[in-house]
Amino acid sequence: LDELFDIVKCRVGRLVVYLTSDTLRRPWCAGEITITSQTHRRLVAVQTPSFRSPSESELDNIGAYLDLTDTKLVQYGITNAFISDAFKWLLQGKMVGFTQNLIGRALFHSLVD
C-alpha cells in the first residue's frame, strides 16, 4: 500500500472515486481518498445506484465502519480522524451520477471535464 499511496500523492492529477456500496469500507480506498484530501484535493466522485453515504455516527466511529481486518492504515500515517475528515470532505463535494448510456472516452470526459 505504501507504493500505491505514494503514486496517489505524487503522480495522480485527479482521483476518480467510483462509489459503490463497499468503496468507503475498503482500507486502500479510504487511504487513497485521505491522501488526496491532504495533498492536491482534486477528486471526482462517481456515485453508482448502490452507494449509500455513511451516517454521521458511522463517520464518528470510522474504525468500526471500515473493514480493517487485514490492513492497519495508521502504519502509513493515516489515522481514523484523517479518514473521517476525508470522507466528510468527499461527501460534501460534487457527486457525479453514473451515466450508463456513456462508454469509453465519452464516459471518461463526462466525469473529468
CB atoms within 10 A of CB 33: 24
- pLDDT at residue 89, as a whole number: 96
Q: What is the pLDDT of residues 91-106, one digit of tens each?
A: 998 888 866 677 777 7
Amino acid at 25: R
Q: Looking at residues 11-31, what average pLDDT do you find?
A: 91
d(CA 41, CA 63): 23
Half-sphere exposure of 104 (CA within 13 A, CB side): 1
| Residue 101, all three cell numbers | 448510456
What is the phi/psi pair of residue 25, to 5°?
A: -85, -15
pLDDT at 20 over 80: yes
d(CA 69, CA 67): 6
Whether this model's pTM surpasses 0.75: yes
Amino acid at 58: E
